[in-house]
Chain A
């Protein structure tokens, strides 16, 4: 297990360098000049020239990239061109928000998706199955921003039950933090739960038709034991893969949901940064989310071993 972890971490290094190089190149390919964009109505040529020099924006591409990479290796992610705040500070501010949103969304999604998937597999072909499928399909089809705005209109404006926006750290006020995050994580969870439900359903259907389930039923075990202990555990593998991948995606930020609920996470940060061509911020956030994604893949591999004892002692 330790060997596996170490090997994965080593493989991650070239991946990260490649990711950062691709993102850097893409940004440079975009039309638009960060200083001009930020200057807006205030284009003092002298100041623009000074800033261009200061942030080395006129250096050749490879020089800029290597300078950035060199700084990153010493722990310096640069500063936001727009506000002058160090990128590491920004990441430290936004990462907990994004993490909390991701965790709440995935927990909600699992709580809805897996039971629905099991139910729909066990009751295959019945009204329950069709109903679950219709709900799942709507979950995937309804756009997040629309659902978000409707929820705000109903829950916050009409009923005045939950705050319409904002973020409160759980360390400051745990309940208020849950309240502010409830609607956004629910919005995110609707789509995720649908994927999970569909995958749970098909994995369960595969397992339920296998011989050992018939044997278990023949032994006279309770249906609950058969489904939860014998079938579900074996059906979990694809669900674990999907969950970790979905979680990895959530770590990149949920742009629309964050925008609608005014949550200061990675999504809003990176979109603003792309629009203002704030290179250092985009690079830093992408690097951070790539690390998160690679980490989640590792978690998936480790979970396989935990769930499936046969993988513990490979021949």
Chain B
């Protein structure tokens, strides 16, 4: 050991490790895809956009909508016309002003570009008109309660219209507190401070570098070694290490997304399985799973149990459903009632360590109620195809979560839902969810969601397991960092203590 130490010491003395105090390095779990908010797909991409591209509105920690480029807004009485007042003096990174025409150009591109993935998010928009340089009028085809929430994310992000034809995915010219410097795929994305940003005083770093580090152990080791300043998604098994190290701080929050399993009820031949055909067996499986065990054993206390698609932070969260727990006797009775002694089925999931642990627990707990689960770990890319094509009996389903409750439920359980791989279809659920979309009053929406949830708890096409946490860790010297339920890293007011 001593020889090694001397050797390494010799090599290390050749140079020093000093890093500029005003630089921030962030370790991400994956490498983002294109840096064009309209065409981008990845979660980590959204983290980069949070610093790179400003948006019309944002959320605060309680999920209230707060102003960014839009300083105030109002709805017409029937909820179909949204008038937005824009911030004076804000500019894009190329120096052109962010005016109503530029915002319109962005929203129009997001709605119509052939590769835009924001079309469904902005589907309710019928027309956008420039009232004057700082006023925008958005007319909807019908009321859309979730529109403002969509504008807090990529759909509401603003790029310089002059850059639209200049491969913005590779050379983004955006509007955020930091502007694009360079990117080396799989290695780093470098941003530097945009001094003309309207709120530049609140952003304290000269440079922000995002480094993809897929391995959780490696990510944490880099934070402890001082090579990065913030990391996202600390592994549950590493939480003890983080808490035991005085030089780093844990900032964890329950997210908006969830992990679940879905039962193939009508997607092709594999829907012809005991669970797909009999809802009592789905109810029994749901009752057999003890979420607290998953939370303690796999999540080290960060996998908050979930029985519904809405996270506790959402106004649509139903307390009564959320407080349910395991009932193994009732589960056994339901299996008997359905005429089964043992129920064999196959559970398909993505093969990583965490999911393997989760589903081994599910397998063991469900066995007590009479289920014989064979686990089928599947490589991630293949899993996507398997789920879409219906080549599964019961499959893993997960969602990173959205601010508006609609985003967490509609696509998964409505008849034509884009992510409804189980092909569950119930006209009453569709009617309730569609109506909830059009009501602006939260209380009314809650009632509608409660009714829809009552049906879903009975039919049980999706069995929710836990909410995804967003555990960040950062250097203890970093001050002002807050974990938001949407998992984004907001650098406003964040700085190193002097």
- Partner-B contacts on A (CB < 8 A): 30-34, 36-47, 50-51, 80, 82-85, 90, 93, 149, 152-153, 155-157, 159-167, 173, 175-176, 178-179, 182, 259-262, 264, 268-269, 272, 275-277
Q: Which residues of B contact A160 (CB under 8 A)?
A: 17, 225-226
Q: Closest Cβ of chain A: how far from B231's Cβ, in Å?
A: 11
Q: Which residues of B contact A182 (CB under 8 A)?
A: 8, 11
Q: Closest Cβ of chain B: how far from A155's Cβ, in Å?
A: 6
CA distance A47 to B112 in the complex (A): 11
Q: Which residues of A contact B380 (CB under 8 A)?
A: 37, 275
CA distance A166 to B222 in the complex (A): 10
CA distance A163 to B14 in the complex (A): 13
Q: Give which listed residue, B186, B382, B400, contacts A272 with CB less than 8 A.
A: B186
CA distance A160 to B119 in the complex (A): 49
Q: Closest Cβ of chain B: how far from A253's Cβ, in Å?
A: 11
Q: Give which listed residue, A31, A162, A165, A277, contacts B211 with CB less than 8 A.
A: A165
With A40-B41, A157-B224 as given contacts, are A272 and B31 in contact (CB-CB < 8 Å)? yes
Whether A164 and B222, one on each chain, are in contact in the complex, defined by CB atoms closer than 8 angstroms, is yes
Whether B227 and A164, one on each chain, are in contact in the complex, defined by CB atoms closer than 8 angstroms, is yes
Q: Which residues of B contact A176 (CB under 8 A)?
A: 15
Whether B15 and A175, one on each chain, are in contact in the complex, defined by CB atoms closer than 8 angstroms, is yes
Interface-centre pick from A41, A90, A269 (highest chain B CB count, 10 A): A41
CA distance A173 to B18 in the complex (A): 14
Whether B185 and A50, one on each chain, are in contact in the complex, defined by CB atoms closer than 8 angstroms, is no
Q: Give which listed residue, A50, A165, A272, contacts B218 with CB less than 8 A.
A: A165
Q: Give which listed residue, B31, B222, B384, B386, contacts A165 with CB less than 8 A.
A: B222
Q: When each residue 346-387 of chain B gets 1 if its CB lies under 8 Å from chain A and 0 otherwise, what string results?
A: 000000000000000000000000000000000111101110
**23 A/B residue pairs, CB under 8 Å, sorted by A:** A32-B381, A33-B384, A36-B388, A38-B33, A38-B41, A39-B117, A45-B418, A46-B119, A83-B33, A83-B170, A85-B170, A156-B221, A156-B222, A161-B9, A161-B12, A162-B8, A163-B227, A165-B218, A178-B14, A259-B214, A259-B218, A261-B218, A269-B185
Q: By DSSP majority rule, is chain B's interface helix, strand, loop, or mixed?
A: loop
Residue of B whose beta carbon sits closest to that of A259: B215
Q: Does B114 contact A (CB under 8 A)?
A: yes
Whether B184 and A31, one on each chain, are in contact in the complex, defined by CB atoms closer than 8 angstroms, is no
CA distance A157 to B188 in the complex (A): 22
Q: Does B293 contact A (CB under 8 A)?
A: no
Q: Give which listed residue, B15, B42, B225, B419, contacts A156 with CB less than 8 A.
A: B225
Whether A268 and B186, one on each chain, are in contact in the complex, defined by CB atoms closer than 8 angstroms, is yes
Q: Does B62 contact A (CB under 8 A)?
A: no
Q: Which residues of A contact B211 (CB under 8 A)?
A: 165-166, 262
Whether A32 and B385, one on each chain, are in contact in the complex, defined by CB atoms closer than 8 angstroms, is yes
Whether B169 and A156, one on each chain, are in contact in the complex, defined by CB atoms closer than 8 angstroms, is no
- Partner-A contacts on B (CB < 8 A): 5, 8-9, 11-12, 14-15, 17, 31, 33-34, 41-42, 114-117, 119-120, 167, 169-170, 184-188, 211-215, 217-218, 221-222, 224-228, 379-382, 384-386, 388, 399-400, 418-419
Residue of A whose beta carbon sits closest to that of B383: A32
Q: Which residues of B contact A30 (CB under 8 A)?
A: 381-382
CA distance A175 to B117 in the complex (A): 45
Q: State the 8 A-B residue pairs at the shortest beta-carbon distance, nearest first.
A: A264-B187, A32-B381, A156-B225, A161-B12, A164-B225, A37-B381, A31-B382, A42-B117
Whether B225 and A157, one on each chain, are in contact in the complex, defined by CB atoms closer than 8 angstroms, is yes
CA distance A160 to B212 in the complex (A): 21
Residue of B whose beta carbon sits closest to that of A277: B381
Whether B12 and A262, one on each chain, are in contact in the complex, defined by CB atoms closer than 8 angstroms, is no
Whether B185 and A32, one on each chain, are in contact in the complex, defined by CB atoms closer than 8 angstroms, is no
Q: Which residues of A contact B381 (CB under 8 A)?
A: 30-34, 37, 275-277
Q: Which residues of A contact B217 (CB under 8 A)?
A: 149
Q: Closest Cβ of chain B: how far from A172's Cβ, in Å?
A: 12
Q: Give which listed residue, A80, A157, A161, contacts B221 with CB less than 8 A.
A: A157
Q: Closest Cβ of chain B: how far from A173's Cβ, in Å?
A: 8
With A37-B384, A182-B11 as given contacts, are A159 and B5 in contact (CB-CB < 8 Å)? yes
CA distance A149 to B119 in the complex (A): 44
Whether A153 and B418, one on each chain, are in contact in the complex, defined by CB atoms closer than 8 angstroms, is no
CA distance A310 to B492 in the complex (A): 73
Whether A179 and B214, one on each chain, are in contact in the complex, defined by CB atoms closer than 8 angstroms, is no
Q: Which residues of B contact A50 (CB under 8 A)?
A: 114-115
With A44-B117, A44-B119, A46-B119 as given contacts, are A83 and B169 in contact (CB-CB < 8 Å)? yes
CA distance A40 to B14 in the complex (A): 46
